[in-house]
Amino acid sequence: MDIRIFHKGEVVFHQGDESHTMFEIQSGQIGIYANYRTPKEKQLAVFEQGETFGEMGMIENLPRSATAVALADNTEVEEINAAEFSDYFEEKPVQVFLLVKQLSQRLRETTRNYQEACCTVSETVTAEQKGEERSGGLKKRLKFFADVYRGFVNGEKAD
Q: Where are the beta strands (DSSP E) in the chain?
A: 2-6, 11-13, 21-27, 29-34, 42-48, 52-53, 67-70, 75-81
Q: State the DSSP string of 8-20.
A: TT-EEE-TT----
pTM for the structure as a whole: 0.69
Task: State pLDDT tens for residues 26-72.
Answer: 999 999 999 999 998 999 999 999 999 999 888 888 999 999 999 99
Task: State pLDDT tens for residues 70-115.
Answer: 999 999 999 999 888 888 888 888 888 888 888 888 788 888 888 8
Domains assigned to the chain: 2-154 (2.60.120.10)
